[in-house]
Structures are given as structure tokens and as C-alpha cells.
Amino acid sequence: MAVFPAFNRSDILADLKAATPHAEVHIDDAVALKFSANGRAQDAIQGRILAYVAVGDVADIQGVLRVARQYHIPVIPQSADTSTVIGADGIDGSIILSTIRMNKIQEISKGDFLAVVQPGVINGDLDKAAREQGMFYAPDPGSKPISSIGGNVATNAGGMSSVKYGVTKDSILGLKVVLADGREIKVGGRTLKQAFGYDLTQLFVGSEGTLGIVTEITVKLYPIPVGNAVTGVAFFPDMAALASTVQDLRLSGIYPVMLEALDGKTVQALDEYEGTHYAKSATASMLIFKLDAGGEASLAIAEQILKDHQAENVSVTADPTEAAQLMKLRQDMLPAVFAHGNHIMEDMAVPLSKLPEMMNYVQEVAQKLDVDVYTAGHAGDGNVHPSLLWPKDQAEPPAKIIEATRLMFHKALALGGTISGEHAVGMSKNQWTNVELGFDVDSIQHQIKNLFDPLGILNPKRKIN
């Protein structure tokens, strides 16, 4: 039996180059390998890409899609390539369409409280530019210094300040998107209220490049709040005590901008890394919090709540230098943990009241399956990030890590949660669509995918199954 291809590689590549006059087109093996496997062993994808195309403009994007439609080639949208869910790695025979060179901040408007950016702009760069005008860009994923706004939109990225300012979708006012058929459409706009059409903007946000290629993003900017920022850390005997404190801090009406939790093992790893002695017990849990408004009055309320909950080793400061020292504990968390082995960092979100139960279950599974698990979380919005570790001399995670993750996912769902709080689905979790969403919603998702991308060329097998 034989398979008869209709086209040969060199014809396709000649067409691709002709169709993308302002792009950098790479077809050499080194680039192909780099972007096929993304340098991450556990994410390695079989096969190799056809080409890596760093587009220069919208016309290039339309050119890539024209060629992709003609030859039925998968197109993988990518910009800063920081996906943690195999969302933007190359697949065999695909074109990686990178928007990383489309990185202009086109406008910062003090008049309209918004910015207009291209997808390749780095989150931290946008925020910096906004702050120079007395405003800021709220969504702050851990990848803020390295991830792009295009990627943040694709994954509906969250962050630490989501507890106060919401996730990426809450900051997106409008988009321009090139559809699979090549048309560029504009959805949403520059107004703060909008009740006209169906909300296609939010349909594209979080769609992981499966419905279209985002070419321009209009984001809401917030004014920098008045009142000194206050940063603090506090310790609790266990996660339940910490969670109950978080509950009261939220309910008090002081609107913290950060409520981060680190479990006992993470605190122990930090002690080891920093030479500190915070971990009085194996379950000692650490809270890092920040208020970006409200000044003295809000601080007094926070301190009283911490006292009522018998928090230990409380440090609170409005001094920027001291605050930076406390924040260093949060920043050092990942290196402190990852010093212990190779890792997968997971991302589940549960209803806020279920946080202690989820945290406890993670530790139960770790013990039962003998897996090294360190858990941190955006406690203020029920977002849990367990890091599962294994020895550095093994490239691939052992089976028990995969099994532990599977159990945790089922638990998050049983608690009314989601198996993706802020990292999206990619290829890592798309086998779970039917489990999390059920058959009916899963089917509707496929109908929507088919509506926008009938040939199935846009980031196939990501997001949906």
C-alpha cells in the first residue's frame, strides 16, 4: 500500500516564502528542532516542523494562512513561547507562526485609559510603559518579564493580582484577529461599556490560537491607586488556618492585591535556600500578602485579622526596601523548590472555601504515591499550583507523577473546580475536555471550532480534543 502526497516540500516552501515578504522564514534543522521540542524534554513532540515563520505584519499572517489552507498544513501560533501546557510547540509538518517581532506598543492613552499593542509585546514592558503615564497593566502572570500579551490573551493568563483586578480577560477591551480564512476582523473596541454584539472578544480570549491569530490588542489600564502599598508575611500551623485568615482578609473589605500561600514543604525548602528557620512543623504554612491601597487604615485591619488568627512571625512594612526583602521570599520560592529535582508545576482552581481540602488532598496523594510535592497557591482566588518533582537524572516524569496529577485533577473537579486556573489547556490537558465540560459543552466547543476553522489548521489538538 502506498500514500501519494499531492505536493512536495520544496514547492510548499517556495510558496510560503513568496507569501510572507516581511517575515523571517527559517527551515534549517537547528531551528526546526529547537521549536519542535521547545528545549523542554518532557514536552518533546514527535517529528519536526516544516518552517518557523517570524511574521512582520498582518499581510505575512494572511500569507501563512493562505499557504496553510492550500496545502492543509497545521499552523502553530506562538510569540514568546512560554506555554506551560504544550500550547505553542511545533508538531510534525507544521508551520510555527511567530508574532514575536510584532512587538510595538502602538498607543498608551491617558484620555481613554487603555493601550493598544501588538501581540509580541512583553507583559512587563507594557506595564512599565503604562506606569510612566501614571497607570498600570493589571494582569501579572509569574511569566510577566518574559511572556507576551498575545500569549497572555491566548491562555487567559492570571497572576498574583487577579484577586483584586481579575485575569487577562477582565483587561481586554478589543481585538483584531486574522481568521483561518484570512479575513482580519475587529471585535470589541475602545469603550468601557459595550452591549451591542455577541461577545466575540471573550470568545477569542483564552482560545489558545485555535480560532484565529490575534494581531492587535486593546487593553484596559488602571490608574495607580493612592495610599502606600503594604507588604507582609505571616505563618500559620497549617493550610486550614491560613485559608481561614485569607477568607477574613478578603471579607474585611480592604481588597488585598496579593494573597499567596506556600505549604509546609515549600517553607522548608525556602528555609534551606535562605538559611531561615520559619518551618516550625512539617505543615507550617506561609502567607505573603500585599495591599496596594488604603494606607494605615487598611493595614490596621489586616494586622488585627492576623492577630485574631494567631499568625506567627508576622512582618509587615510600608517601606519599599523592606517590602522588596519580603517579596524576595516569594520570588525565591521556585528556585528553592526546583533545586530538589525536575518538575511539573500544575494549575488547578477550586471554589475559595475548598482551598484547604484541595491542599490537604494534594499532600495525601503525595504521601500515598510517594511523590515529592511542593504546593504554592494564589490563595485569594483558590488557585493551587502543586509542583511535582522527580530526580534530575531522569528526563521524563515517572508514572507515579502522572498518576498523582490525574488524581489531583479529579479531586479539583469533584470540588467544583477546574483543572486549569490560569495556564490554559494546550496539549497537556485536552484529553480532559469531556471530563471537565461534559459531552454537551464539549460538542458545542467543537462546533465553535469548526465554525472558525473548518479545515482544522489552527493549533490542532490544542485546547479541544
Nearer of residues 113 and 235 to its own copies, judged by Cβ:
113
Nearest to 380 by CA among 351, 359, 357, 408: 351
Nearer to its own copies, 25 or 305 (CB): 305
Helix axes 433-452, 399-414, angle to 10 degrees: 80
Interface with its own copies: number of residues (CB under 8 A): 93
Closest contact distance (angstroms) between CB of 61 and its own copies is 16
Cβ 238 to its own copies, closest distance in Å?
Answer: 18
Amino acid at 134: G
Among 255, 357, 403, 456, binds its own copies (CB under 8 A): 255
> Which of 194, 313, 315, 360 forms a contact with its own copies (CB under 8 A)?
194
- Neighbour-count burial for 202-229, b at 16+ CB within 10 Å, e otherwise: bbbbbbbbbbbbbbbbbbbbbeeeeebb
Residue 178 parent element (H or E)? strand 172-178
Nearer to its own copies, 49 or 180 (CB): 180
Q: Which of residues 230-249 bind its own copies (CB under 8 A)?
A: 247
Instruction: Scan residues 340-359 and list those touching its own copies (CB under 8 A).
Output: 347, 349-353
Q: Which of 254, 270, 333, 427 binds its own copies (CB under 8 A)?
A: 254
| Contact stretch for its own copies (CB under 8 A) within 41-49, 233-241, 303-311, 427-435 | 427-435
Q: Which of residues 387-426 bind its own copies (CB under 8 A)?
A: 416-425
Stretch that binds its own copies, among 143-151, 320-328, 393-401, 428-436 (CB under 8 A): 428-436
Per-residue DSSP letter, 419? S
**Residue span 150-179 as binding mask against its own copies, x where in contact by CB under 8 A, dash where not:** -----xxxx---xx--xx-xx---------
Interface with its own copies, residue 143, by CB under 8 A: no
CA 247, CA 240: separation in Å to the nearest integer? 11
Burial per residue of 324-349, b for 16 or more beta-carbon CB atoms within 10 angstroms, e otherwise: eebbebbeebbebbbebebbbbbbbb
Out of 25, 381, 458, 460, the residue judged to bind its own copies by CB under 8 A: 381
User: Whose Cβ is closer to its own copies: residue 320's or residue 438's?
Assistant: 438
Does position 126 interact with its own copies (CB under 8 A)? The reply is no
- Map the footprint of its own copies across residues 28-67, applying CB under 8 A: none
The CB-side HSE value for 110 (13 A sphere, CA atoms) comes to 7
Contacts of 327 (CB under 8 A, 6+ apart): 231, 288
Site for its own copies in 300-319 (CB under 8 A): 301
The owner of cell 518551618 is: 279
Any contact of residue 441 with its own copies (CB under 8 A)?
A: yes
- Say whether residue 110 binds its own copies (CB under 8 A): yes
Of 14, 41, 192, 414, which lies in the binding site for its own copies, with binding defined by CB under 8 A?
A: 192
**Nearest-10 crossing angle of helices 320-338, 264-274:** 110
HEC letters along 355-377: HHHHHHHHHHHHHHHCCEEEEEE
CB atoms under 10 Å from CB of 400, counted, come to 15
